Amino acid sequence: MEHKNYKAINKSVRKKDSMQLLLGKPVYTQDIAPQGALVVKLLRSPYANAVVETIDTKVAKLVPGIEAIYTWEDVPSQRFAIAGQTYPEPSPYDRLIIDRHVRYAGDVVAIIAADSEKAALKAMKLIKVGYRQLEAVLDFHQALDNPVLVHPEDDWFPPMEVGGNAKRNLVAHEDSGDGDVDEVIADCEEVLQNSYHMRSFNQAMMETFRTYTQLDRYGRLHVISSTQIVFHVRRILSNALGIPKSQIRVEKPRIGGGFGAKQTAVCEVYPAFVTLKTGKPAMLIYTREECQIAGSPRHEMEITVRLGADRDGHIRGLDLYTLSNTGAYGEHGPTTVGLTGHKSIPMYTGGLQAHRFHYDVVYTNTVPGGAYRGYGATQGIFALESAVNELAEKLGIDPTALREQNMLKEGMVMPAYYGETANACALDRCMARCKELFGWDEKYPVRDMGNGKVRAAGVAMAMQGSCISSLDVGSATVKLADDGTFNLIIGAADMGTGCDTILAQMVAECMDCTVDDVAVFGADTDVSPYDSGSYASSTTYITGKAVEKACSELKTKLCAIAAGMLGCDKEELYFENGKVCRIGSDQTVSLAQISVKEQLNNDIAAVATASHASPVSPPPYMVGMVEIELDKGTGQVKILDYVAVVDCGIAINPALARIQAEGGIVQGIGHTLFENVTADRHGSPIENSFMQYKIPTRLDMGRLHVEFENSYEPTGPFGAKSIGEIVINTPAPAIAHAIYRATGVWHRELPITPEKILMSMPDER
C-alpha cells in the first residue's frame, strides 16, 4: 500500500456548495429557470395495456390560458430509448414521445401546455379519451413467451445485440460461467437452493423530476434539467425530436438528489417538444405521485441461488439465475441484470471451483424500471449473502468465519468479474475490523430481553465497481485564471455527492494550491468536455483520473510559458509548491506572474483538457453488521446498531465518503423494512405518495458507525476507488439474517414488514 502525506487529498474539506444550500439560495432548476414559461402537464393512461381509439381535445382547448394540447398524432414516429447510456445503448429503442398504444398505467396519452397550472389541470379533466382495453401482463413470472405481447410493433429496435426478442417479451438474455457447475455441486456434501425477491423500490429523492426548455438567441434548444447525464440527454432529445445534437444545449444546475433516477431522461422530452412546437419556454415539474407511478424505480428481480459446499463450509459451486422485470419499456433492463451475478459471485473467489450466471429480462405492463444506486448488485447481494448466511446457520458455523474461509483476497483473479485481478482488496481487513467495532462475538448470540423482545445480529459483505470498464469516459478541463487561481470545468454531475469538491481537491493537490483557489463549473454540453455522466460509481475514479492527467499537462504548459519569461529551455524547469522553479538555481515564477504573461505576447494557452477511460473497474468492498431488537408480540424490528467498514481505496474526502456510506445504509434499511410496492388491478402502484410509501427517518436508523480500511488502487487517482453505490448493498441481507436469528424464520422477499414477521412466526403455544 502506498502512503503519502497529502495536502488536499484524504482531507475532510467542506463542500463547495454547502453554504448556498444551507442558506436556501436559488440553485435548483426551478429556482434559476426564468419566469413566464408555459406549464406542461401530462395526461396519463389509467390502464396497463390499451389502445387509444379516440381522443377529443376540442373542449379542453377552449379553456382560457391553454396554449396547445398534443396527442400521438402530433409527435414523430421514430422510436428511441431514454436510458442514459453510452451510444450504442444496450437498451432497446422502444418508445415514442406519445404512443397510441399505452403500455402501463401512467403511460403518457397527451401533453398539455398552458400559461398556468390551474388552466392545464382544468383542461386535462376535459380531454375525452376512448380506450380499447387489452389484456395485460402484470406478473413477470408469466411474461416470457406469453401470448400477450407488450411490444408487438415491428419497429422495435435493439441498437446492440443483448439476446432480446420482443416477440417473446424478452429484453435480454445471457448465459455465462466457468467450470462445470453441475458436476461440482453434485459432488458437494451440502446443497442449498432458494429464490429471493426484491421489489421495484423508488429512489424518493427530495427534488422530483423537472426540466425547463427554451429557444436561445440562436434558435437552439436550451435545456436546463435536474439530470445526471447532460450529454446523454442531448442525444436522447436528438433521437426523439429528430433534430441535430448541434442544435441542443443541455445544462444542469444543483440537483436535489438523484440516486440513479436521473440517469434516465424521464421528463426532458415533453417540455422540449412543446418549446419546439410553440417557440415558447416551457417547464415540466413532476408531482410526487408522478415520480411514484411513472418514474424510474429499481428493477423488480427474483434471483434463484444454488450453492454447493462441503460440511466444513468450503463453498465450491455457485449457480445464479436472475429474472428481471423491466416493466413496459426496456431502459437499463439489459445492464442492471448483469450486476446481480458479476458483483456478487466474485466475493467467494477464495475457494470457488465453478460458477454459472444466467438471466432473462422481461417486459410487463408495469412501471418501467431504471437506474437506482446499486444498479442490480443490490438485488444480487441480497440473494447470495442471504444464501451464505443460510448455509452458515445450517452448518452451525459462525457466518463471519465462513466468509473468512471463502472470501476474495488481494491478488486473486476473479473469473466471475471478467477475469480482473483484485489489485486493491481489504475485504478481509474490513471483516476483522467490523467484528471488532461491532462486538460480534458478544452480539451474535440471540439475547432474550424479556417482555417478548429479543436482540439478534446479522452480517453481510458487498462489492461493487468503479466504472463501466473499457466504455465510459470522464473528462476535465483545468485552466489558469488571470489571477493565478484555477478553473475546473467538468461534465460530471454533482447530485449532492460532493464530486465538485472532491475533484477540486484533486486539482489543489496536483497544483499545490488551496481548494478555495479552484472554481468548479459543470455540467453544460456547450462548455464542458465530454463526460458520460455521474453514474456507475465512476466520477471519482474516472473523472478524477482525467483531472490528474489534465493537471499534469497543464504543469508542462506552465513551464513552457515560464521558460519564455526566464529565457531558458522548458526542460530546465519544474513545477513545485505552486510555482515554476529552475533546476540548479533559486529562480522561480509564480502562478500570478504566469497568468499576467499569458495575456501579453503569449502563444501558449494555460489550459489543459484530458479524458480518461479504464480497461478495468476495481471493486470497492464493504462489510456491514447490524443489531436489531425484535418484538415477538408485534413483529416490529428496531435497528439498534449498524457498523460498516468500507474499502474504497484512499478516501479523497473522508467526511463526504462517510456521509455517502451512512445515506446508503439508511436507504438499504428502508428497502428491507419499510418501503413497499403493491399495485391495483391495473398495475398502478398503490403507494403513490409518502403517506403510503414509507421511507426511514432519523428515528429508524439506530446508531450508525462507519470506518474505512484503506487499500491503494494503482489505476485510480491517488489510489481511490468508488464509494457511491456499494454502501446500499449490505443492509438487506444483514437485517434478514438478524431477523432469522430472532425468529427462526428466513424471509426471502423484501420488504420484511411486521405483518410478515408476525404471520410467519412459529406458534409457540
Sign of torsion over alpha carbons 465, 295, 332, 235: negative
Question: Is residue 220 within 8 Å of 250, Cβ to Cβ?
Answer: no
pLDDT at position 106: 97
The one-letter amino acid at 378: T
Helix %, strand %, coil % of the chain (to 5): 30, 25, 45
Round to whole Å and give the CA distance between 267 and 225.
9
Q: Which residues of the chain have pLDDT under 50?
A: 1, 765
Round to whole Å and give the CA distance between 648 and 452.
40
User: Which segments of 71-127 are extended strands (E)?
Assistant: 101-102, 108-114
Which tens digits make up the pLDDT trace of 438-493? 999 999 999 999 999 999 999 999 999 999 999 999 999 999 999 999 999 999 99
Angle CA 366–495–280, to nearest 5: 75
Angle CA 271–272–273, to nearest 5: 90
Angle CA 188–191–193, to nearest 5: 150
Structure-derived torsion over alpha carbons of residues 533, 536, 540, 546, reported in degrees to the nearest 10: -50
Which tens digits make up the pLDDT trace of 5-32? 899 999 999 999 999 999 999 999 999 9
Question: Is residue 457 within 8 Å of 443, Cβ to Cβ?
Answer: yes
3-state SS, residue 127: coil
H or E stretch at 21: helix 18-22
Q: Which residues of 283-311 are buried (b: 16+ CB within 10 A; e: fewer)?
A: bbbbebebbbbbbbbbbbbbbbbbbbbee
pLDDT at position 4: 67
Angle CA 749–751–461, to nearest 5: 75
Question: Is residue 341 within 8 Å of 692, Cβ to Cβ?
Answer: no
Computed on alpha carbons and rounded to an integer, the radius of gyration of the chain in Å comes to 27
Name every residue whose Cβ is closer than 8 Å to that of residue 159 and which is 6 or more positions away in sequence. Answer: 81, 87, 88, 89, 90, 91, 92, 93
User: Percent of the chain beyond pLDDT 70?
Assistant: 99
User: Which segments of 495-545 are extended strands (E)?
Assistant: 518-521
Which tens digits make up the pLDDT trace of 139-184? 999 999 999 999 999 999 999 999 999 999 999 999 999 999 999 9
In the β-sheet with 573-576, what is the strand arrangement from edge to edge?
573-576, 579-582, 588-590
Q: Write down the number of H helices and E strands in the chain.
A: 19, 29
Name every residue whose Cβ is closer than 8 Å to that of residue 761 and which is 6 or more positions away in sequence. Answer: 632, 635, 743, 745
Strand pairing partners for 641?
A: 627, 703
3-state SS, residue 315: strand
Question: Is residue 189 within 8 Å of 195, Cβ to Cβ?
Answer: no
- Tell me which residue of 82, 72, 33 sits closest to 266, measured CA to CA: 82
In which residue are the cell numbers 487517482 written?
717
Which tens digits make up the pLDDT trace of 406-426? 999 999 999 999 999 999 999
Q: How many residues does the chain have?
A: 765
Name every residue whose Cβ is closer than 8 Å to that of residue 368 and which is 6 or more positions away in sequence. Answer: 104, 296, 326, 327, 328, 329, 330, 331
In order of their start, the domains of the chain are 18-26+468-612 (3.30.365.10), 33-134+206-257+261-294 (3.90.1170.50), 300-466+617-764 (3.30.365.10)
